[in-house]
Structure 1
Amino acid sequence: MKGTVAALMVCVFGITTGEFVLAGILPAVAGDLEVSIPAAGLLVTAYALGMIVGGPLLTAITAGRPRKRLIVVLLLVAVGGNVVSALAPGYGVLFAARVVTALVTATFFATAIVIATTGAPPGKQASTVARLVFGMNLAMILGAPLGTWIGDSAGWRATFGAIAACCVVGLLLVVGLVPADQPGTSGRALGEFAVFRDRNLILAIVTTAVANLGLLMVFTYLAPLLTGPGGFAASAVAPMLLVYGVGATIGTLVGGRLADRALLPSQLGALTLLVVVLLALWVSPTALTTGLLVLVAGAVGSSIIPGLQTRVLSTATAAPTLAIAVNASAYQLAAAGAGWLGGRVIAGPGLPAVYVAAALTTLLGIGFTILALRRDRAVAPSRV
């Protein structure tokens, strides 16, 4: 079991580094391919849209495939997409390669979670999910900076080459360590979507989007928040992003263990604490307290992610892979909405009010969590 999770974690690290690293090499890509920065930025948008729209559709289409074989094929596509990105002769080819790579990302992540949790000991599903999310955290705090450094040293094409190599390593580990094929679901592609008739599943997915919206809003505008009301110099932004990432990594692992013990109560407690932390950031008197609160915000905010994924799994036993893929799309929609909503707040009440808006949206997540708790208690009081 540990070997399976480790192999999948390497794959998650490689694939999600490919998502995060583009921001660091964007100017180099634009300059080399002779396109504008906004045009190069569309590569990021296209990747997100590929995950939002393509992930659920591809997952439904491939639902009946044996899971190990499926992730091997998905990894081969990811390797190919990054190789083509490294060799792309022009913007159009690079754009197409990023879209194709994005299409398999959500399906891979969803299938990996189902494989890992299926083999997990009883009561350890959330902490198992946390280990996979840890691979994503590493992509944020280690993979993206390392990929940017490779791009600065050897060119942006070398960055995609290195990501492809990492995915190859993950592929070999999957072949050697992941056990024999687990069967996929037996229903047809369109039949998979019938799982969304379950109101508890819909509530779980909506909670994922709403509960993450506030923190994603703060993270999107963290640089101006730090250099503006936070009182930090511009040179401190990169180290503070690392501080946030360290907090997120710790929070993910701790949150997984807490969710194993009491899923919805731990989620409710973390969201409540997150509201307090966000409001504390709003009134933080010094750069030192702001820095400490950024660490805590990363930890508390990320601690809910394993539980949110596990809640979706527990309410979608008929089509767990598709449900996780749609849940990933909900997270991506929250990220897109965070940028838009934060921009409106900045244009209106001003930059510091982003913290208040984030706290208010997190309160909505608390409301949905309380609703889920009440629904569970109404059905089986002894299990909550």
Structure 2
Amino acid sequence: MSRAVYLLGLAIFAQGTSELMLAGLLPEIATGLGVSIPAAGLLISAFAVGMLVGAPILAVTTLRWSRRAAMLAFLTIFALTHVAGALTSSYGVLLATRVAGAFVYAGFWAVASVTAIELAGPQARAKAMSILAGGLTVATIVGLPAGTLLGQHLGWRSAFWAVAVLSVLAIVGVLATIPGGRSEHLPRLRDEVRSMVNPQLWLAYGTTALSTGAILVVFSYLAPLLTGPTGLSEVWVPVILALYGVGALLGITVSGRTADRRPFRTLVISLGGVVAAAVVLALATSTPWLAVPAVIGIGTFGFATNPAVNSRVFSVAGSAPTLAAAFNISAFNVGITVGPWLGGLALDAGAGYPSVGWIGAALGVLALGTIPLALRIGQREYASASAMTGV
């Protein structure tokens, strides 16, 4: 695997740390800016909105740029938004920097995904994507707690400065490892749009959104679930979060080595594991020795779906992958937004924390349902192509 792919994973780590770290900094930000905790929480929602719309817009805007130039532009803007965020005393300005930073982060994801796939070659798509997405997993294990510690001891602005420095280091890495110049075969918007008219692609997006929602509906309410009905002390929450992250890294690493050869089997096993773990969590929320392994299992199997769904999108998109990859980033963010929203609706209705496990299981079953549909459509397309060629 090209060292440039690992460098792109480190760049995702730098930016992913910013995506995650606000979850541990809300009290400090709220106090520092004189706003309520819910208002500070909107900074997280703003980031999700920026990512949702940023990937397809920037994928089209920079389609004919060299990929190195596009990634350098995105990283530079990302670093500047964090400098501005660290310097401002205005909640409105900070909100705007979160949207802008997420916007270019989504663009970086889209372009970096295509770049990693090209560098790795068609036989190692899933492995390349596991390395890229592994940067976000490491951000969960290292970046989130590190950002929280910085914020608690040196003020929340120090975490923003740290992300800005990491982004500058990523810029240096891109300059050193990513080839410059345009591709010999410049992508055309017409081809990219035409590739989107494919039911297989939209089924893959459905798998992405549903599987992500199944993970996030549990992860978003993990702390109150563990300290509430599960009955654990608060001191155990960071430990379990770390174990969840280790499980996620293990899942994404193993899946990255199997999904290129057996993408559908990898998806079935991974999603089946998510459903089983979510059901155990729902049934045994108040039993720590069952609930904690179930939580770790959701992280392990949930993140194992990532290389498979990404590889699937690139396989279906064929020679016009940029816009397809961008919409897959948006599909991830649909899951990130919808999963916690559904969990919040259930909790507000008084269903209790076991409900997030049941919702996660239901979303996982729906994601599993997209696989036989994809196989059926694939068989139909193969039969049609065989008939046309007389094979």
Establish whether TM, by shorter chain, passes 0.5: yes
1:63-113 CA deviation, whole Å, 9 max, x = no partner? 111111111111111111111111124222222222211110111011111
Q: Which residue of structure 1 lines up, in the alignment, with residue 346 of structure 2? A: 345
For 2:246 and 2:208, locate their aligned partners in 1 and report how far apart those are by CA, in whole Å.
22
What secondary structure sits across from 1:35 in the alignment? Answer: coil
Name the aligned partner's letter for residue 223 of structure 2. Answer: A
State the 1:376 CA deviation. Answer: 2.3
State the 1:229 CA deviation. Answer: 3.2
Q: Which residue of structure 1 lines up, in the alignment, with residue 267 of structure 2? A: 267
1:302-313 correspondence to structure 2 within 5 Å:
302-313=303-314
Retained in 2: the 8 A contact 1:230–1:290?
A: yes
1:1-384 correspondence to structure 2 within 5 Å:
1-183=1-183, 185-188=186-189, 192-284=192-284, 286-346=287-347, 347-380=349-382
State the 1:191 CA deviation. Answer: 6.7
Retained in 1: the 8 A contact 2:214–2:339?
A: yes
Q: Which moved more, 1:262-271 or 1:371-380?
A: 371-380
1:215-263 CA deviation, whole Å, 9 max, x = no partner? 2111112223222332322322221111111111110111111102201
1:42-74 CA deviation, whole Å, 9 max, x = no partner? 211111111112221122111111111111111
State the 1:197 CA deviation. Answer: 1.0
For 2:161 and 2:350, locate their aligned partners in 1 and report how far apart those are by CA, in whole Å.
43
1:98-134 CA deviation, whole Å, 9 max, x = no partner? 2211110111011111111101144211011001111
State the 1:20 CA deviation. Answer: 0.7
For 1:185 and 1:312, locate their aligned partners in 2 and report how far apart those are by CA, in whole Å.
20
Q: Which moved more, 1:129-138 or 1:48-57?
A: 48-57
State the 1:192 CA deviation. Answer: 3.8
Q: Which moved more, 1:209-218 or 1:230-239?
A: 230-239
For 2:270 and 2:137, locate their aligned partners in 1 and report how far apart those are by CA, in whole Å.
18
Q: Which structure 1 residue ranges, 4+ long, deviate > 6 Å from structure 2?
A: none
What secondary structure sits across from 1:65 in the alignment? Answer: coil
What secondary structure sits across from 1:106 in the alignment? Answer: helix
Name the aligned partner's letter for residue 135 of structure 1. Answer: G
Retained in 1: the 8 A contact 2:280–2:290?
A: no
For 2:89 and 2:218, locate their aligned partners in 1 and report how far apart those are by CA, in whole Å.
37
1:191-218 CA deviation, whole Å, 9 max, x = no partner? 7433321111111111111122222111
Name the aligned partner's letter for residue 368 of structure 2. Answer: I
Retained in 1: the 8 A contact 2:273–2:297?
A: no
- Uncovered stretches (5+) of structure 2, i.e. residues with no partner: 384-391
Retained in 1: the 8 A contact 2:13–2:135?
A: yes
What secondary structure sits across from 1:273 in the alignment? Answer: helix
Q: What percentage of residue pairs aligned between the two structures are identical?
A: 38
- Uncovered stretches (5+) of structure 1, i.e. residues with no partner: none
Q: Assess, with a 3 A threshold, how the Cα gap between structure 1 residues 220 and 171 changes in structure 2: closer, same or farther.
A: same
State the 1:380 CA deviation. Answer: 4.0
For 2:215 and 2:25, locate their aligned partners in 1 and report how far apart those are by CA, in whole Å.
25
Retained in 1: the 8 A contact 2:268–2:368?
A: yes
Name the aligned partner's letter for residue 303 of structure 2. Answer: S
1:263-283 CA deviation, whole Å, 9 max, x = no partner? 112101221222122112223
Q: How many residues align?
A: 380
Name the aligned partner's letter for residue 246 of structure 1. Answer: V
